[in-house]
Amino acid sequence: MVCAIKAPLPKAIGGNVQAAVNFTVGLCQLPMLVNIATTGHKLQGQTKAKLVISVWSQRKNWNYVALSRVQTRDGLYLVQELPWNADFSMLHSLREMIERLKQCAPDQIEWDLNEERETIEERRRNANYSLNRIH
C-alpha cells in the first residue's frame, strides 16, 4: 500500500506553522491473529485444536494443565522439550482436600426421578399462573 503524507516541517530544522513537507511512503501490514497468547490459568477448562507451548513452568501441575488442553497430539507444538524433571503430581493440599470431601460425601445419592418431574411441573404451573395474572 502506498500513502501520501503531508507533515509540518519541524521548527528544529527551520520550519514554521505554514511550512509542510509532502512525501510518499510504502506501508506493509503483516497478517496477525490478535490475543492468541494466553496463560496456563486462562487455559484451564478450555479445549484447543492446536496449542503451542513456548515455555515450561516449575510449578506443580501446570505442565499437565497445559498439555491436557489440546485435543490431539498432532495439534501440540513444543518450542522447548518437556523438562526431564517436570512434576505432574497433584498438590499435597489438593489431595488432602479431596480426601476430606470424600469423607463428607454420602455413600449413595438418593434421587427420585418422579419427584423431580413433579417439582418441575409444579414450578411450570406456578410460572404460567403468574404470567396469566400479569396479562
Q: What is the pLDDT along the chain (135 residues), one digit of tens a residue?
A: 788 888 777 766 665 666 777 888 887 876 655 556 677 778 888 888 888 888 887 777 778 888 888 889 898 888 888 878 777 777 788 889 888 888 887 766 677 778 888 888 888 887 776 656 665
Predicted TM-score of the model (pTM): 0.41
Cell of 85: 524433571
Separation between Cα atoms, residue 75 and residue 78, nearest integer Å: 10
